[in-house]
């Protein structure tokens, strides 16, 4: 599972696009709570995972957010987008 998490984290950092935790978890076949646990400590590379409503990474201080987090308003909200673009 950690390999799939790494693929997803690397992809989001490459395309510099936020993704809801729900979409990411569904693409991986796990719960959003399990995803958060597997991502580990808060760091800029994982701040791309955001909540559905506000589009913000939950619990992240501004200093923990990626510097490009708000470069686009686009947010991946569909697991299908991830599974189509990645081999998950």
Q: Which two tokens stand for residue 17?
A: 């696009």
Q: Which tens digits make up the pLDDT trace of 11-21?
A: 999 999 999 99
Its domain, for residue 63, covers 2-85
The whole-number pLDDT of residue 71 equals 95
Mean pLDDT of 74-87: 94
pLDDT band at 22 (very low <50, low <70, confident <90, very high): very high
How many domains are contained in the chain? 1
The whole-number pLDDT of residue 87 equals 81
* φ, ψ for residue 18, nearest 5 deg: -70, 155
């Amino acid at each position: 599972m950690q390999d799939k998490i790494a693929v997803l984290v690397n992809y989001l950092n490459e395309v510099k696009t936020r993704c809801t935790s729900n979409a990411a978890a569904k693409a991986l076949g796990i719960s959003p709570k399990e995803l958060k646990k597997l991502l580990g400590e808060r760091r800029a590379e994982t701040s791309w995972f955001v909540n559905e409503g506000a589009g913000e990474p939950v619990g992240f201080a501004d200093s923990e957010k990626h510097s490009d987090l708000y470069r686009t308003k686009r947010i991946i909200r569909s697991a299908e987008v991830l599974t189509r673009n990645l081999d998950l």
